[in-house]
Amino acid sequence: MCLKEILSEIKKCKIDYNLTERLIFISDIFKSLSVPEASKNIGIAHSTGYQWLERWNKDGLKGLYHRYAGGKPPKTFKRRL
């Protein structure tokens, strides 16, 4: 995937903010910014930037989608009278 295709995906994904933010980060990497510089541009920790870059390198665009596994269900609160 080239920079032009990434910018095209950004335009398509305006509704999904998380994906758009990650694509902007990757486009900054394509523009030869370092991971700390690209991370600073969008306001994330550089450790998060390295994780996103690793996922991009491993899975491409699919790796940037939010991965939510559900997590622990909330406790049910019983009201005592």
CA–CA distance, 80 with 16 (Å, rounded to integer) = 41
> What are the distances in angstroms from CA 71 to CA 12, 21, 66, 74?
29, 23, 14, 9
* Cβ 25 vs Cβ 52: under 8 Å: yes
In order along the chain (81 residues), what is the average pLDDT of each group of 10 residues? 77 72 93 95 93 94 80 66 59
Segments making up each domain of the chain, as ranges = 3-63
* Cβ 24 vs Cβ 35: under 8 Å: no
- What's residue 7's pLDDT? 74
- 44: Cβ–Cβ under 8 A, 6 or more apart, which residues? 21, 25
pTM above 0.75?
Answer: no
- What's residue 65's pLDDT? 85
